[in-house]
Structure 1
Amino acid sequence: MCIFILPASVAAKDAEFIYPFNNAVTFISKIRIIGKTGDSQNLSLSAENSSGKKRLELELADNYFSCEVQLALGKNTVSLSNGSGTINSIEILFSDRNPDNSYPEGFSPYYLHSKNDLAGECRLCHPVNENYKAVSVQQPACMTKACHADFDNAKFQHEPFQKGSCASCHNPHGSENKDFLKYVGSALCFSCHAEAEKMSIDAKHIHHPVLKGECTSCHDPHQSNLEYHLKRESIVGLCSGCHGKEYNSHNVLHEPVKAGDCIACHMPHVSQSKKLLLDSGNNLCFKCHKERKAEFENTFIHEPVKKDCTICHDPHGSETLDHLRNRKDENGNYIPVKQPIKELCLDCHRKLDPEFANQIENGKYRHDPVDKTECTSCHTPHSTNNKQLMKLPISDVCYSCHPKEKELITGSLYKHGPVRTDDCGQCHLVHGSENKHLLRTSFSEEYAIKFDAADYSLCYNCHNSELILEKDTRTTGFRNGKENLHYLHVVTKGKSCKTCHEIHASNQAFHIREKIPYNDIFTITLKFTKLPDGGSCMAGCHKAKKYDRIRPEKNE
Structure 2
Amino acid sequence: MKYRSSQYRPEYSSTEHTGIMHPDPVQHSLYRAASGLVLILLLSLVAPAIPAFATNVCFSCHDKQAFQARFIHKPVAQQQCSLCHDPHVARHNGLLREREDRLCYTCHTKQQKQFARGVVHAPLLQGNCSSCHLPHAAATKAMLRKDLAGDCFGCHKQLTREYTFVHAPFAKGQCTACHKPHQADNLLLLKSTGDSLCSNCHTAKEVATGHKDFPEKPGNCLSCHNPHGSEQKALMRNVLHEPFTKGCAQCHGRDNQNSTESCLECHKKTEKELHATHSHLTLHNGNSCLNCHSPHAGDDKALLKGQERFVCSGCHIPSLQLYQKKKYKHPPVEKCSLCHVSHGGDNPGMTRGDGNDVCIQCHESQGKFTHPVGPEVLDSHTGQEVTCVSCHNPMGTDYKYHLREEGKKALCILCHRTY
TM-score range, shorter chain: 0.3 to 0.5
Q: Larger RCO: Structure 1 or Structure 2 (Cα < 8 Å, ≥ 6 residues apart)? A: 2
What TM-score does the superposition give when structure 1 sets the normalisation length? 0.35
Comparing both structures, which one devotes a greater share of its residues to strand?
Answer: 1
Comparing both structures, which one devotes a greater share of its residues to helix?
Answer: 2
